[in-house]
Amino acid sequence: MFDRFADASFFRVDGDQIAVINQQVREQETDPELAELASALKQSQLQAEHELSQRRTLHSKQRHLRKQQRLQAEELPEKEKHTLLARLAEESVQQKRQLQCLKQEWEQRIAALQHRLDHKLMRIEQLKQQRKQRSAALQKKLFSAYRFANIRGVEKDLVELFSVTKNPLPPAGSGECAAPKLLHYAFQHQLRPIALAEFWWGRSPKSEIRQHKKFYPACQSKCQPILAHMLEGMPLEDNPLLSNPAQGQDITIVYQDDAIVVVNKPAEFLSVPGVHVHDSVLTRLKAQFTQAEGVFALHRLDMSTSGLLVFALTRRANKQLQKQFISRAVQKRYVALIEGKLSETQGEIQLPLCGDLDDRPRQKVCWQQGKPALTHWETVQVEQNRTRVYLYPYTGRTHQLRVHCAHHLGLNAPIVGDDLYGLQDKRLFLHAEQLSFAHPYTKQPMTFQVDADF
């Protein structure tokens, strides 16, 4: 595709020029005179504040003394009184002038230091802007140099491939993954790829879910636009994101009255309409309860997760149940089958989660920007080399249970069948089996349970 480290590569030439600017920035930032100026400026500001404060305090005391002298002057003869008052007035004027002169003197001294410091800082900022512009130009040139062929021999560069996406600027590292390189090599040498899979080698990263020797699909942000072009003209399996796995499946209604309906959602069934597939539990219920005030979704389950969902059938019920979900008064228990055996029988997992912007819909652990996520868990039984556990989510983050089970700082044991964070199986072995809340009208406690079919 492109060897950016070749001796004659523009990447090396332009990169060397940027490196020179980097060196200049470092030299300017570490210049002793810069630190001396900053220190002198700060010291002058502090000294000015101190001297002016002392002078104002002195003048305040002298004003108070003059006030007393003016009161005493009332008892003096008129001529002496007039002379004293004139002298006191002159003292007041002189002190104001002295304070103003001192203030101007410090302002000029500080301004001179600030000017010298700003001149150096401006030079650093100019170098940084120059570096930014050259880096952007080099990146654009690099993106244009990365060209990818497909089996038909059609080549496109990164700029073309990402121009039709939501973010037309290719992410850093685009084109450096294994799959595009292997496919490009195959097409260049008139080879026909039969199958391709990528696996993780080495330690798990701190944030993303990756385990040694486990297979993972290509990332969405960097590889999807590239592979969509490179795989044109090749026989492929159907895209699961475009198919409706719920077709032919039915929803079981567990409970229903005028206010709510509780259902048991099958696995591989959307809770609410998706981007490509409209069929969902919400869609089905709206078609069924046409006489109701509405069907209001209060919470969701991942498409691959089965189990209990409650929907409101009136605005009043929706408002009351929303309050319970917001205050975390709704109790949920999930059952899951996870890979391996656990050394403990119960515990809690606190790992903050956020979306992986480079690989949606995956989530990742992020201590800086992640939202708090808490899960309590307990072992039910060990089944061969797998463990059945109860999971009690205190928060309801996207993929919370799946990430907390799979992450090396959590249980370090992916849920069986987790195609995002573990290994694919006949289904995701995660089921929302118990749901407890207060009825929105009667306030009576209600608990529903549907056992998992695994």
- From CA 159, how far away is CA 143, in angstroms rounded? 6
- What tokens does 85 get? 């008052």
- From CA 194, how far away is CA 236, in angstroms rounded? 10
Distant-in-sequence contacts of 173-180, Cβ < 8 A, 24+ apart: 173/222, 174/143, 174/146, 174/222, 174/226, 175/1, 175/2, 175/146, 175/148, 175/222, 175/226, 177/218, 177/219, 177/222, 177/223, 179/218, 179/223, 179/227, 180/1, 180/148, 180/223, 180/226, 180/227, 180/230
DSSP secondary structure of 329-372: --EEEEEEEEES--SSSEEEEE--EEE-TTSTT-EEE-TTTPBP
DSSP H/E element including 226: helix 220-230
Measured distance between the N- and C-terminal CA atoms of the chain, rounded to whole angstroms: 48
Residue of 157, 302, 356, 359 marked catalytic: 302
- From CA 125, how far away is CA 69, in angstroms rounded? 59
Burial of 34 (0-12, 13-18, 19+ CB in 10 A): middle
Q: Three-state DSSP class for 311? A: strand
Q: CB count, 10 Å around CB of 310?
A: 24
3 carries an active-site annotation:
no
Query: Which residues in 178-248 belong to E strands, given as ranges?
Result: 198-199, 215-216
Burial of 353 (0-12, 13-18, 19+ CB in 10 A): buried
- From CA 267, how far away is CA 433, in angstroms rounded? 13
User: Tell me, what DSSP letter sits at residue 170?
Assistant: P
Q: Which residues contact 297 (CB under 8 A, 6 or more apart)?
A: 271, 272, 282, 311
- From CA 160, how far away is CA 111, in angstroms rounded? 52
Q: CB count, 10 Å around CB of 60?
A: 10
- From CA 304, how far away is CA 190, in angstroms rounded? 39
Burial of 293 (0-12, 13-18, 19+ CB in 10 A): middle
Cis peptide before 225 (omega within 30 of 0): no
Residues annotated as catalytic are: 302
